[in-house]
Amino acid sequence: MSAIIVLLADETQQETLVNFVTQHENVLSHYRLIGVDNLAGSLKQKTWLNVETVLPLQQGGDIVIASKIITGEEIVAVIYWVDPIKTTLYELPLLTLFRVCNLHNIPIATNTGTAEAIIVQLRRTRSAYLIFNPVSGVGNANQDLLLIRQLLEPYFHLKVYLTTPETDPTELAREALEQQVDLVIASGGDGTVSAVAGAVINTNIPLGIIPRGTANAFSVALGIPTNTQGACEVIIAGLIRTIDAAYCNGLPMILLAGIGFEAETVSKADRDAKKRWGPLAYIMAGWQQLNEQTDFETEIEINGEMSQFEAAAITVANVAPATSVLAQGLGQVIPDDGLLEVLMYTSPVDKMQALAGMVRLLGAGLLKTELQRDNMIGFRTQSIKITTNPPQKVVLDGEIIGTTPIEVKCVSRGLKILSPAFSSFPPIEEIATLNEVEMDEYREQIN
């Protein structure tokens, strides 16, 4: 069970306390909060925090809180906003709480200065494990790491581990979980992020992302800034969203698996080309691949049912930005619907036809509208098996992993991400608890 913070205020100070809690919602959301009825009601109107209630202080609420401290419940702080004019230290509720907190070494704050000091300390006690890939991207890795430390260390107890050719990001992430950290942060390209995410799937440990790769498709899809300072600010804000993940041939998949055209394109865009040209390297490689791509026999299996097609490109997407052109066609790729989005394409007649088709797909992705084409088959499924003849290369989250066949399974809402995406909406897991008025407000936001 989470550690507890007690929130109390004299009648004249309740608005001040509500404003303080709203300001520091990102920190307080990681704790179990206890307060009196009227405070809980006020906070529910302004935040998504859940506050457990106790009796009013004059009716014994102070004794209830004191008993929790005495019996060893993990209370890390008491914030009690006191009216500096009307309340004295000899008031019984305040005196009771002061005495018990002093006996049990619990910090107690009665004004803005002392409450802010508690918040600063709470931030620094949260542990974060940064997995940093120094060869990702085209910038100066040492400068990037220095900036990350400067931005995050005031808010977290930060441990930094660098990936090497001998040190797999997944193993580093597993070591972090063994140390029971509060947060795992991946800094690198989509491959690094995918490897780290694979270790935290279904662990309830949130993943922070500082994108430093060539495409940074996962970050773009979730609205995470692709600059270091912006990404760190998202992590500090602490907004957690729960999305789907997947496994492809037992390997973690957060973005998509590509067969045929996309895999061959990634294969042609080597690291030197990406360092020199950035995302343009993929476009150049794709234009070259159009001359060479041919259809191949494809057999898919869904829930025991078999179907056969001719295809030149297949994508199986969990999350994809609009710029992942071949993942578009069914409208918006939904990151938390518990389904994979499968798109299959046959070869176009010539390059200009292919280019026109890709432009239309890009437009569909940007506008989040469904696009139907004669040479496209699209559907959603929870799992799929794909076999091709001859075997085709497979790219998984930006990395070539071998050749077909593949089996992909969705892990519904298996990954917690620190993300600004949908920040005006309530967390998904709380939607079911909304009352009728709140649900109407939520519908207005998403329409």
How do strand 75-81 and strand 108-109 relate by DSSP bridges? parallel
Instruction: Give the Cα separation of 410 and 340 in Å (integer).
Output: 6
Provide the token pair at 386: 């794909």
* Category of 216 on φ-ψ map: left (φ > 0), alpha (ψ -120 to 50) or beta: left
Strands (E), 303-366: 305-311, 313-317, 340-345
| Torsion angle in degrees (nearest 10) through CA of 332, 333, 334, 336 | -170
Residue with tokens 């079911």: 432
The residues carrying an active-site annotation are: 62
Q: Which two tokens stand for residue 44?
A: 């529910």
Neighbours of 270 (CB within 10 A): 12
Phi, psi of 286 (to 5 degrees): -65, -40
Over 153-193, what HEC string results? CCCCEEEEEECECCECHHHHHHHHHHCCCCEEEEEECHHHH
Asked if 422 contacts 446 with a C-beta cutoff of 8 angstroms, the reply is no
Long-range contacts of 93-99 (CB under 8 A, 24+ apart): 93/57, 93/58, 93/61, 93/62, 94/62, 96/62, 96/63, 96/66, 97/8, 97/62, 97/65, 97/66
- Taking alpha carbons only, the member of 238, 141, 237 closest to residue 189 is 141
